[in-house]
C-alpha cells in the first residue's frame, strides 16, 4: 500500500480519525477533510472545509493531487446528527437541509470530483452510512433519510463508475468514540459480539473493501450483531 493515497472526510475525530490513523500505519498517504483544524505531517495533508460545499470537494482533490500526485481511494465519512433535537412537526427546513447537505450531498460532491482520478488508479470508494438507514428512534427524520440516501447513492455510484471504480458502503451501529468510556452489562448484551464497536472496527472493514476487487455495490452492516437481536424491555 506504500505510495497509495486516500481521501477521508470528517477525519478530525471519531470514525474518520480512526480511519486516518489506520491508513497512515498501513503506509498510505492521507488527506483528511474536516471543519476542524488538523495538523499536517509528512504523509498527512489536512484540508479545512465544509464538505457540503462543492468548493471544498474541488479543493480537497486538487490539493491531494498537488501533494501526493494521485488518488487511490475515498472514504466519505463526514456527518452530523440532530437525533432527538426536533419533533418532526417542528423540524426547521434549514436544519433538514443542513443535515442532508453534509451527510448526503457532501458524499456526492466528493465522489464527483474524485471520480476521474479514481478511474485512473482503478480505485475505490467507501461511504459510511449507519444502521439508522434501516431502523429508527423518535425524531430522527433528517439523519435517517440522509443515511438511507447514502446506501442508495453507493449502489448507484457502483453502477455508474464500474468497472474502473468500486463503491461500497458501511453501516456502523454503536461505535464508541470516547476514550476510556465504560459500558454497562446491558449495553454489551445488546451486541451478540459482546461489546460496543470502536473506530478501528470500521477502519479495518474499510481497508478490506478498498482492496476487495470482486466486491462492489454492497452495504455492510458493522454493528456487533445488534440489529439482528430481539431486545425486550427489562
What is the secondary structure of 167-197 as a DSSP string?
EEEEEE-SB--STT----HHHHHT-TTSS-B
Tally of helices (H runs) and strands (E runs) in the chain? 7, 7
What is the secondary structure of 48-77 as a DSSP string?
ES-TTSHHHHHHHHHHHHHHHS---EEEE-
What is the secondary structure of 123-174 as a DSSP string?
-EEEEE--GGGT---SS-HHHHHHHHHHHHHHHHHHHHHTTTSEEEEEEE-S
Cβ pair 25, 44 in contact under 8 A: no
What's CA 229's distance to the chain center, in Å? 24
The C-alpha cell at 122 is 482503478
Catalytic residue among 107, 143, 208, 232: 143
Backbone angles phi, psi at 75, to 5 degrees: -110, 115
Q: Is 91 left (phi over 0), alpha (psi -120 to 50) or beta?
A: beta
- Pick from 146, 108, 114: nearest CA to 5: 114
Judge whether 107 counts as a catalytic residue.
no
Q: Which of the residues are catalytic?
A: 143
Amino acid at each position: 500500500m506504500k505510495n497509495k493515497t486516500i481521501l477521508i472526510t470528517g477525519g478530525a475525530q471519531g470514525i474518520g480519525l480512526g480511519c486516518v490513523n489506520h491508513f497512515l500505519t498501513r503506509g498510505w498517504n492521507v488527506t483528511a477533510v474536516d471543519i476542524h483544524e488538523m495538523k499536517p505531517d509528512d504523509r498527512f495533508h489536512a484540508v479545512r472545509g465544509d464538505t457540503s460545499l462543492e468548493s471544498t470537494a474541488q479543493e480537497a482533490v486538487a490539493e491531494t493531487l498537488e501533494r501526493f500526485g494521485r488518488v487511490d481511494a475515498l472514504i466519505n465519512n463526514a456527518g452530523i446528527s440532530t437525533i432527538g433535537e426536533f419533533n418532526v412537526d417542528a423540524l426547521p427546513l434549514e436544519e433538514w437541509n443542513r443535515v442532508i447537505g453534509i451527510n448526503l450531498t457532501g458524499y456526492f460532491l466528493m465522489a464527483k470530483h474524485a471520480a476521474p482520478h479514481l478511474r485512473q488508479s482503478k480505485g475505490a470508494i467507501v461511504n459510511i452510512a449507519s444502521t439508522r438507514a434501516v431502523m429508527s428512534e423518535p425524531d430522527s427524520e433528517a439523519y435517517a433519510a440522509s443515511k438511507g440516501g447514502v446506501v442508495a447513492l453507493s449502489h448507484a455510484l457502483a453502477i455508474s463508475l464500474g468497472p474502473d471504480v468500486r463503491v461500497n458502503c458501511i453501516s456502523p451501529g454503536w461505535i464508541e468514540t470516547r476514550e476510556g468510556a465504560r459500558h454497562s452489562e446491558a449495553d454489551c448484551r445488546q451486541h451478540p459480539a459482546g461489546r460496543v464497536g470502536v473506530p478501528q472496527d470500521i477502519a479495518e472493514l474499510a481497508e478490506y473493501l478498498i482492496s476487495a476487487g470482486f466486491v462492489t455495490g454492497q452495504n455492510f452492516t458493522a454493528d456487533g450483531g445488534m440489529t439482528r437481536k430481539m431486545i425486550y424491555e427489562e
